[in-house]
Structure 1
Amino acid sequence: MTSTRTMITGTDAVADAARTVPYEIYLGPDGDAVEPVIARATTWRHLRTLDLGPNMRVLEIGTGSGYSAALIGHIVRPGGHVLTIDPDPVLSTRAARLFATHGHRAVAATGSGLAGHADLAPYDRIYVPATPPAIPGAWIDQLAPGGVLVTGCTISDLPGTYAVAHITKVPTDDLHVTVHATRCPPMGPPLLPAHVTAVTARDYPGYYLATTSHDTTTATELLALLRAGEASAWPGTPGEYLDLKHWLLARNPAGLFTAFTQFGEGIGIGGKAPVAYGLAVRPEGPPEAAMITPAHFVAQPGTSPTEARFLDLISEWRSEGPRTTHELDAVVVPHGGSYQVRLND
């Protein structure tokens, strides 16, 4: 297997750890390969946002191959402590064996991780390379004052709205959050609240459209409309897609939806066309929809008021900078015994 060390750049603690801990060890030369869910460059980026240092106590939820825990162990040095938890006993046992064999400073345990690990709390850092349906209150409770939690999160009740949250527990127990335009795999199927309507295509159940409207008929019509449309290149670059998507979620314009069709994952606006009745205007005309994906722009019918409104929104986003995801205002909202991350316009 070709070494990956030549791909590592930088002189910070994460780069030093990546040069010291061979990625190949955890990829699977022991005959028990683990397919990486998150690219190693993304793991390095996540660890940099943790701002790790010597002597820190760190909890990781989701061991996977064990690679990220080994990196963290190198950074916190002998004065620190790293505990990594995974629900799969095969993975946690394998990681523990590799840690011991190669002298990497981390401890692996088996468990869901959703309750954290109170026995060793508080933690200076908690790292979760996955997206829970909501952020468990236990993770916040087990953070030390000034501690940092980096976790996958959903930033809307609509499906497919994944991001990564950097949450700092300031000494007054307030929470400061910044959202980043990357994503982690979900821990389980999304939990849609009652006010979200999601419809799927009968012939392709993986295709869906979700909206906060309760009008299932219109949602079904919009999904069919988008599938029948022709795609053109959207007025942007693939790298801008997530930033624009997150800005739209923060703005929450009327008719906002998320969808997945043959054109890929998308976000857009849609609904019934307005029809004039004397002095009143009611949304009772044929359906209209406009959507972007990382590579496509789809509008049905073309040159509709909905398409024009969507293009105006894109222009407004551009006039603001355009604003990137980490520049958007974000809040941590209590939700029962857990927390949600939401964006504000």
Structure 2
Amino acid sequence: MPDTAQSALDRAIAAVPVERFHGADGHAVRPCTPASVTHRHLQMLDVQPGANVLDIGIGSGLSAALLAEIAGPQGHVTAVDIEPHLAARAADLYSEHGHKVTVVVSDGLLGHPSQAPYDHILVGTTPPAIPDAWLQQLKPGGTLLCGVRIGLLPGAFAIARVTVDAHHQPHTVEIHHGGYTPMIAAYPLAPVTRAVHPQRPEQSLTAVGEHEQCLADALLASLIETPHIEAAPAAGPEYFHLKNWLVATAPSDLLEATLDQGNGTGIGSLAPDGTAHAAVATDEHFIADRPDSPALARLHALVHRWQQAGAPRTHQLRARLLREGDAWNARVSATT
């Protein structure tokens, strides 16, 4: 980011108190994106004074207020949200504190063509797929930053930074660790198979592919009944890069599980004798059906491959957008 743009962002952060939008306790709007995340994403967006910007998903209202400060008196910021109460709350705050933001109640999947073309579009939510309308409403060379799904698993979320060419096609695509809450829209998770423990519904498992329900049920049971637990080598933030790398490698038996030990991503399948073997990595543990589980051995091998490759971060994965009708799906692969 050029020094002038960084200075503009710094001045905006100083001029717009977080508490104004998040409340003194940070719970004014839920879910609420942490201010540090909003600041980081605005840095990635690299807005210049005088820019025309579209902010989809108003949330607390903080991001559009910051954008208005950066864009300045010669710029223009339009904020769109489908929820009337969020839009009204933000509009009142903008009016009270002199933030130059036009608030629109509308379906953000459509963008807002009447103010296009935009230099930048910031989307503080995750759509089912990136609507082509967003790319069409950008100026050539314009930038989109939004939440995306990078795979079929429920937790396969990330952040995409996309620039468009003169024909409004993706020119550069970067995928970064992080994520926004899902947009109010139906999520096409199929083909996946989901199991929920009948006595403990807070524990569940989702397997990629259209499997027999009994497979998902057996895999979940194998991780709950007498699990083997050991320390994971990729703890804390490292885990999320490992998780995205696993999504990128796309093993055929990839799964995601919510267990007492936390949320994890791993693999699982039935042995020829019908025994279910599963293993998942969380940000603290490896959890498997037993110490000598074939699934655990495979998961160890996958983690070793990731480490041998230099433990690539999410932004180092090969990223691309794949068109499907009038929308684009974000995908990553382990080949850099």
Query: 8 Å contact 1:211–1:257 — kept in the other structure?
Result: yes
2:220 is aligned to 223
Q: 2:322 aligns with which of 333, 339, 344?
A: 333
1:121-145, Cα deviation, whole Å (9 max, x unpaired)? 1111111111111212211111111
State the one-letter code of the partner of 2:117: P
The DSSP-based 3-state class of the residue aligned with 2:109 is: coil
2:63 counterpart of 1:63? no
- 1:38 equivalent in structure 2: 33
Partner of 1:321, secondary structure, is coil
Q: Percent identity?
A: 39
User: Quick check: 1:304 aligned with 2:293?
Assistant: yes
Partner of 2:107: 112
Residue of 240, 243, 246 corresponding to 1:245: 243
Note if contact 1:158-1:192 (Cα within 8 Å) is conserved in structure 2. Answer: no
Partner SS, residue 203 of structure 1 = coil
The aligned runs of 1:1-345 (5 Å cut-off) are 12-28=7-23, 33-35=28-30, 37-175=32-170, 176-188=172-184, 191-213=187-209, 214-228=211-225, 229-273=227-271, 283-345=272-334
Q: CA RMSD in A?
A: 1.9
**Counterpart residue number, 1:278:** none
Normalising by structure 1, we get a TM-score of 0.89
User: Do the aligned residues in 2 keep the contact of 1:231 with 1:263 (CA within 8 Å)?
Assistant: no
The secondary structure found in structure 2 opposite 1:294 is coil
Contact preservation (8 Å) 2:6, 2:43: no
Distance in 2, matches of 1:24 and 1:162, equals: 27
Q: By how many angstroms is 1:35 displaced?
A: 4.2
Offset at 1:325? Answer: 0.1
8 Å contact from structure 1 (residues 328, 344) kept in 2: yes
Identify if the C-alpha distance between structure 1 residues 154 and 205 changes in structure 2 by more than 3 Å, giving closer, same or farther.
same
| 2:110 aligned counterpart, secondary structure | coil
Cα distance, 1:21 vs. partner?
1.0
Query: How far apart are residue 203 of structure 1 and its match?
Result: 2.2
What secondary structure, in the 3-state scheme, does the structure 1 residue paired with 2:275 have?
A: strand
Alignment-mate amino acid for residue 181 of structure 2: P
Q: What is the CA–CA distance in structure 2 between the aligned matches of 1:141 and 1:155, rounded to whole Å?
A: 22
Aligned length: 325
C-alpha distance in 2, partners of 1:28/1:125?
A: 27
Distance 1:70 1:225, change over 3 A: same
Q: Which runs of 5+ in 2 are unaligned?
A: none
Q: For residue 154 of structure 1, what is the amino acid of its counterpart?
A: R
Could you tell me whether the CA contact under 8 Å between 2:208 and 2:252 is conserved in 1?
Answer: no
- Asked if 2 retains the 8 angstrom alpha-carbon contact of 1:50 and 1:150, the reply is yes
Q: 1:103, CA displacement in angstroms?
A: 1.3
TM-score normalised by the chain length of structure 2: 0.91
Q: Whole-Å Cα distance in 1 between the matches of residues 203 and 162 of structure 2?
A: 33
Secondary structure of the corresponding residue to residue 90 of structure 2: helix
Q: 1:148 to 1:23 in 2, by over 3 A?
A: same
List alignment gaps of at least 5 residues for structure 1.
1-9, 274-282
Deviation at 1:194, TM superposition (A): 3.7
In 2: Cα distance, 1:148 partner to 1:303 partner: 49
8 Å Cα contact 1:17-1:71 kept in structure 2: yes
Deviation at 1:172, TM superposition (A): 4.6
User: Do the aligned partners of 2:152 and 2:190 also contact (CA within 8 Å) in 1?
Assistant: no
Q: Which amino acid aligns with 1:311?
A: H
Deviation at 1:174, TM superposition (A): 3.2
